Amino acid sequence: MPLTRLELRARITRLLRSDADLDSFAGDFFPEASGRFTDGMDRVRKTNILLDYADPEVLAKQLRLLERSPKAAAKPAEDGPIKLLYLASNPTSMDQLDLTREARRIADRLRGGKPRRVNEIEIVPRWAVRRSELQRLLLEEDPHVLHFSGHGSGRARLLFEDDGGNIAPLEAKSFVSLIGILKHRLQLVVLNACDTEPLAGALVRHVACAVGMRRAIGDEAAATFAETFYEALSFGEPIGAAFRLALIALEISPIREEQTPVLRFKRGVDADKRKLKR
């Protein structure tokens, strides 16, 4: 059965990890596509051009050959940083959250103290995320950590946007199924949104650990939790210890929302020993 465009995109992301790899591959096998690449063009655009101009059957064949080659097999999985895909969704009809500030605070905390950091964590923010593009983003980015900031509902749904910025709910069953198929390198999911504890519990059928919220959480508490949690992970703390450090940060702050976040983990996983890995 021929590979779909989404499946081809996923293989390109997995096998051609650097811009140099993508440029070289396109130049060697698909010069028509490569000739349309320009200096400074981002990776997503290059991938789209390759998918548009390459014969799908030939592209699939070359990717399979690359996958079987000794060079591809020998490529260490630990190359590159740990990728944190930060999804922000803020439908216009809902209370507006300060998600830009949260993402900036996380990024700032991941910059300092580099000589002592065990893990380089790269935050990849995506704004005004629509329900319809979630699958594509997971395929393109293949993250180690998935972070959702926005609104949840009492029925364990995440509230994404549609093309007009209106509410587009994603049912828990659909989200869990999507993660089950596209988990690949995914080790941790953080749902920085109200009433997401049940969803976190369902997700650990597929990923090692997930964080959800028992109830509504304020902007300041959400940002404080996230920046402390990811900073601790970047210094090599296990997920369980990083979670407790983030709770302490809430406990000693004026907001006192330390009872809101909850950590769930897969059966057989010891969160006090489990660390992020590339």
Torsion-angle region of residue 40: left (phi > 0), alpha (psi -120 to 50) or beta? left
Confidence of residue 117 (pLDDT cuts 50, 70, 90): confident
Max avg pLDDT among 63-67, 120-124, 162-166: 120-124
pLDDT bin (cut points 50, 70, 90) of residue 80 is confident
- Give the pLDDT of residue 78: 53
Residues of the chain above pLDDT 70, percent: 95
**In the structure encoding, which two tokens stand for residue 203, read together?**
């997700």
Q: pLDDT per residue over 190-241, tens digit each?
A: 999 999 999 999 999 999 999 999 998 999 999 999 999 999 999 999 999 9
Q: Mean of the pLDDT values across residues 38-67?
A: 89
User: Given this model, what pLDDT does residue 130 score?
Assistant: 93
Which residue, chain included where needed, has tokens 């998918």?
A: 51
Nearest 10 degrees: Cα torsion 114, 109, 144, 49: -90
Give the pLDDT score at 79: 61
Burial grade of 39 (CB within 10 A; 0-12, 13-18, 19 or more) = exposed
Q: What is the mean pLDDT of residues 232-259?
A: 95
Q: Give the predicted TM-score (pTM) of the model.
A: 0.72
pLDDT of 23 strictly over 90: no
Answer whether 192's CB lies under 8 Å from 213's CB.
Answer: yes
77 band by pLDDT with thresholds 50, 70 and 90: very low
- Give the pLDDT score at 115: 65
Grade residue 270 by pLDDT with cuts at 50, 70 and 90.
very high
Tell me phi and psi for residue 188, to 5 degrees: -150, 135
CA distances from 185 to 239, 255, 276 (A): 16, 34, 10
